Amino acid sequence: MAENPLPEKGLSAYRKVRNALLGSLTAVAFILAVTPLLAIVYVAYDRGKAALSLAFLTTMPGGFPVGIEGGIANGIAGSLILIFIASLLSVPVGIWAGLYLWDQSHTRLAKITRLLSDLLLGVPSVIWGVVGFFVFSTNTGFGFHWGFSGLAAGLTLGFIMIPIVTRVTEQALRDVPRSYIEGALALGASRFQVVRGLAIPAAITGIGTGILLGVLNVLGQTAPLVFTNYYNTGIPKSLVGSNGSVGDLAMQIFIYIHEPSKELHVKAMAAALVLTVIVLLLDMGIRLLAWGSRKYAQRMG
């Protein structure tokens, strides 16, 4: 390379070997990092392409065993409902908690909150499911008695999301330079004005990423659903009670794969591809939203 200021000849044998070694390690790491995504897309497409069509996305499953005919509209609708309920709970609570941890970072309550939220991050999702079942679904728990339902599952998933959103929000706010905040405070801005007008816009990409991470986590969960929602082949009219279960893509894939039917296996792989594409679209959507709100904040006060 012409622009390399260090002539290759001048390098000692040791450094040449080291450079080559580190270079190949980087290449290997890169390949290892992207291969799984390519593999998922390839396998899902290859095994599921026979079932893919527009109707697959828009029709309800039918036939026997259920799903032999029709598509996965129940799963798509149900997953979106669950994400919506989970976000409704976790986004405001998580952002609020993240703001609190950032603002009051040295107080004892903040330290305890941070510790608890880290512990919650490590709780296996099966346990969330069992607790969600006890709290929301049965009549022996807290008296909600919502049965296997979208609301019970959505809230359980929401509680899984809260610590994710909290910690990512706090970290994103921490990454806002102190000098930036001080500049506003020195102009007589109140803490609230600084948070709303400067800190959050500056951290919005990070916060958006946190929400996305939470949503993606929720999209892939099956264990909590087994206990709080299970699965519905239709779209429910209510989100609570004995007919309140919703469909769910991850559950649908899980159930189809366990059926001894070639057609359902193909549909499971097609559904997996749809789920992957939804994830990618959500990712892009959040990025666009973050970009837009940053532009907006730059223009406005």
Partner 1 sequence: MENGTQEPLVPKIAVKNFSAFYGKTQALHNVDFTIYERKITAMIGPSGCGKSTFLRSLNRMNDFFQGFRVEGSATLDGEEIYGPAVNPVLIRQRVGMVFQKPNPFQKSIFENVAYGLRIQGVKSRSVLSDIVEKSLKAAALWDEVKDRLNGSAFSLSGGQQQRLCIARALAVEPEVILLDEPASALDPISTARIEELMQDLKDRYTIAIVTHNMQQAARVSDRTAFFLDGTLVEVNDTTKIFTNPEDSRTEDYITGRFG
Positions touching partner 1 (CB under 8 A) are 106, 177, 179-180, 182-190, 193, 197-198, 201-202, 294, 297-301
Q: How far is the CB of 193 from partner 1 (least distance, A)?
A: 5
The smaller minimum CB distance to partner 1, of residues 46 and 182, is found at 182
The smaller minimum CB distance to partner 1, of residues 145 and 196, is found at 196
Q: How far is the CB of 106 from partner 1 (least distance, A)?
A: 5
Q: How far is the CB of 175 from partner 1 (least distance, A)?
A: 13
The smaller minimum CB distance to partner 1, of residues 23 and 183, is found at 183
Q: How far is the CB of 168 from partner 1 (least distance, A)?
A: 20
How far is residue 75's CA from residue 60's CA, in Å, rounded to a whole number?
A: 9
The smaller minimum CB distance to partner 1, of residues 10 and 177, is found at 177
Q: How far is the CB of 115 from partner 1 (least distance, A)?
A: 19
In single-letter form, the type of residue at position 48 comes to G
Coil, strand, or helix at residue 180?
A: helix
Distances (CA, A) of 145 to 66, 137, 234, 238, 292: 28, 5, 22, 14, 42
Distances (CA, A) of 73 to 95, 141, 219: 32, 33, 15
Residues in the chain: 301
The smaller minimum CB distance to partner 1, of residues 7 and 301, is found at 301
**DSSP conformation class of 62:** B
The smaller minimum CB distance to partner 1, of residues 106 and 262, is found at 106
Q: How far is the CB of 286 from partner 1 (least distance, A)?
A: 20
Cis peptide before 65 (omega within 30 of 0): yes
The smaller minimum CB distance to partner 1, of residues 106 and 237, is found at 106
How far is residue 170's CA from residue 138's CA, in Å, rounded to a whole number?
A: 35
Q: How far is the CB of 296 from partner 1 (least distance, A)?
A: 11
Sign of CA dihedral 8, 14, 18, 20: positive
Residue showing tokens 């406005």 = 300
In this structure, what token pair is assigned to residue 123?
A: 């709780």
Residue showing tokens 């790491």 = 29
